[in-house]
């Protein structure tokens, strides 16, 4: 018996008593209660009509209820919680679809059809046994041991709803649990069934894995059970090491996962983490052996940035500024390190600031995370050089305000001053001014830019065009 100190649960219990039905909180809330994780999504299962109880509760707490008749569910918001009501169900599935055939059932039928024992526990809400834990599949024992196990034969559970194979990996990563061996074997056997699950739902789970404390765990599990090549072939292609004349390149899959974990330690930004996952994605496509150098991956940052678009499209990730941000980081990910290997000139730093704009700090985080060498002396040198780059970035930014810099002279002003039609000369003058600022030949200031424009106009604009 536990202390469910939430008055809304008492109220639901009272309504259920009045209506002569049984009601239970089930699933994620119960799991998270024991794990001391906050849970704002509450699932209530009613042995009878969930909708009827939801409607009475909505009136009592003056909230609006949304009813989904086809699914037999109702949802209402109360304070910062979302409470979903459903009648206990017994489900069976057809081979070719995730859509179940549904009939009314008992609490145990309902618990049977859930994904994992730790997600199949329920708290009673009726007065007679308020707070009692109903746990027919020993979910508590698995929760204590940190194990994910299906309540039924795993082949049935996964074949009924193949998304659960991805959820197993997601929960294992998020909660740092292990997947029970027989459950894991069933994922291996049923992995091809993932093809009937929509990309959106898989991507939602991937986002949760990426947002975990140590995301590599999930991708290693995907690889181990054979799901990786089905749901993320580009990432799977990073695996492996080739050796020519005794020279090996690093395994880009393990390297990528290390970079992702490193970024995860520094930032909770989902898209920065995606950039980490994709930063070397074009290495397999650009790999070459050159006698004089060894293994090369020339242009992988450019090809990679292009691949980001296709990956976002196929995974149904947002095709908006988030994608552009990831593309930009992939494209620029070698720049800070390249900079730190040469003498760090003001003009190189200015150019980097100009191209990265507000994303410069994220780019530096990614680049630092990218240093995964096992050679400590090498890492120390890199890190020291990085400090130089960071200091220089700060100095230049304070002095020249290059971040989000717009050249002080635009094409309109050039056309107006010299009465020019839109033509290539306008672009050339504009870009010469921008280059002069980035190279530090003139300052980022209107007067100096105007003077340079006048000087350039003398030689660049042909006499016949001058009015």
Q: What does the binding site for ligand CTP look like in residue numbers (CB under 6 A)?
A: 27-28, 41, 43, 114-115, 119-120, 161, 163-164, 167
CB of 127 to ligand CTP, least distance (A): 25
| Whole-number Å distance between alpha carbons of 235 and 80 | 38
Q: Which is nearer to ligand CTP, 196 or 423 (CB)?
A: 196
CB of 33 to ligand CTP, least distance (A): 12
- DSSP β-bridge partners for residue 247: 244
| Whole-number Å distance between alpha carbons of 253 and 231 | 15
| Whole-number Å distance between alpha carbons of 212 and 206 | 10
**Rounded to the nearest 10 degrees, what angle do helices 270-278 and 252-266 cross at?**
160
| Under 8 Å between Cβ of 327 and 305 | yes
CB of 30 to ligand CTP, least distance (A): 8
**Contacts of 437 by beta carbon, 8 Å cutoff, 6+ apart:** 350, 400, 405, 407, 443, 444, 449
Q: Which is nearer to ligand CTP, 30 or 429 (CB)?
A: 30
Q: Which is nearer to ligand CTP, 192 or 321 (CB)?
A: 192
CB of 49 to ligand CTP, least distance (A): 19
| Whole-number Å distance between alpha carbons of 261 and 304 | 20
Q: Where are the alpha helices (DSSP H) in 72-124?
A: 107-112
Q: Which is nearer to ligand CTP, 29 or 382 (CB)?
A: 29
CB of 118 to ligand CTP, least distance (A): 8
What length does the chain have?
A: 467
| Whole-number Å distance between alpha carbons of 26 and 12 | 13
CB of 28 to ligand CTP, least distance (A): 2
Q: Which is nearer to ligand CTP, 27 or 304 (CB)?
A: 27
**Distance, C-alpha 196 to centroid of its chain:** 22
Q: Which is nearer to ligand CTP, 44 or 437 (CB)?
A: 44
CB of 362 to ligand CTP, least distance (A): 27
Q: Which is nearer to ligand CTP, 22 or 164 (CB)?
A: 164
| Tokens, residue 225 | 């059970």
Q: Which is nearer to ligand CTP, 114 or 335 (CB)?
A: 114
- DSSP β-bridge partners for residue 24: 45, 124
Q: Which is nearer to ligand CTP, 14 or 161 (CB)?
A: 161
| Under 8 Å between Cβ of 24 and 122 | yes
The DSSP element (H or E) to which 123 belongs, if any, is strand 122-124
Beta strands in 142-254 (DSSP E): 147-148, 178-179, 243-244, 247-248
Residue showing the smallest CB distance to ligand CTP in the complex = 28
- DSSP β-bridge partners for residue 84: 43, 75
């Amino acid at each position: 018996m536990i202390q469910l100190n939430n008055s809304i649960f008492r109220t639901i219990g009272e309504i259920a008593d009045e209506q002569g039905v049984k009601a239970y909180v089930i699933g994620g809330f119960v799991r998270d209660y024991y794990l001391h994780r906050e849970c704002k999504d509450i699932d209530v299962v009613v042995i009878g009509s969930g909708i009827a109880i939801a409607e009475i509760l909505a009136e009592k707490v003056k909230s609006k209820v949304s009813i989904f008749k086809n699914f037999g569910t109702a949802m209402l918001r109360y304070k910062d919680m979302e409470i979903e009501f459903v009648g206990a169900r017994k489900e069976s599935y057809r081979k070719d679809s995730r859509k179940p055939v549904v009939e009314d059932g008992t609490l145990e039928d309902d618990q049977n059809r859930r994904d994992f024992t730790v997600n199949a526990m329920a708290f009673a809400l009726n007065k007679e046994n308020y707070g009692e834990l109903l746990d027919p599949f020993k979910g508590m024992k698995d929760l204590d041991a940190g194990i994910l196990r299906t309540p039924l034969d795993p082949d049935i559970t996964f074949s009924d709803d193949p998304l659960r194979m991805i959820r197993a990996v997601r929960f294992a990563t998020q909660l740092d649990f292990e997947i029970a061996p027989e459950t894991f074997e069933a994922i291996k056997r049923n992995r091809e069934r993932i093809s009937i699950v929509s990309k959106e739902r898989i991507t939602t789970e991937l986002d949760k894995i990426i947002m975990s404390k140590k995301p590599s765990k999930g991708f290693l599990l995907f690889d181990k059970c054979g799901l990786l090549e089905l749901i993320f072939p580009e990432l799977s292609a990073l695996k492996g090491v080739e050796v020519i004349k005794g020279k090996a390149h690093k395994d880009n899959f393990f390297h990528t996962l290390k970079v992702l974990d490193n970024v995860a330690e520094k930032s909770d930004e989902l898209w920065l983490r995606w950039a980490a996952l994709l930063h070397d994605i074009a290495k397999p496509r650009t790999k070459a052996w050159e006698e004089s150098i060894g293994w090369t991956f020339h242009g992988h940052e450019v090809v990679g940035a292009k691949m980001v678009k296709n990956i976002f499209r196929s995974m149904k990730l947002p095709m908006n500024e988030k994608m552009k941000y990831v593309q930009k980081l992939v494209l620029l990910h070698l720049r800070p390190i390249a900079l730190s290997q040469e003498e760090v000139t003001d003009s190189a730093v200015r150019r980097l600031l100009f191209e990265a704009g507000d994303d410069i700090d994220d780019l530096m985080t990614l680049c630092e995370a990218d240093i995964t060498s096992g050679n400590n002396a090498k890492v120390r040198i890199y890190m020291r050089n990085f400090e130089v780059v960071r200091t220089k970035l700060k100095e230049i930014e304070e002095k020249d305000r290059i971040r989000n810099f717009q050249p002080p002279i635009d094409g309109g002003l050039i056309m107006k001053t010299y009465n020019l039609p839109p033509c290539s000369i306008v672009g050339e003058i504009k870009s010469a001014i921008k280059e002069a600022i980035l190279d530090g030949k003139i300052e980022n200031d209107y007067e100096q830019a105007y003077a340079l424009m006048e000087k350039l106009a003398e030689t660049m604009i042909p006499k016949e065009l001058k009015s």
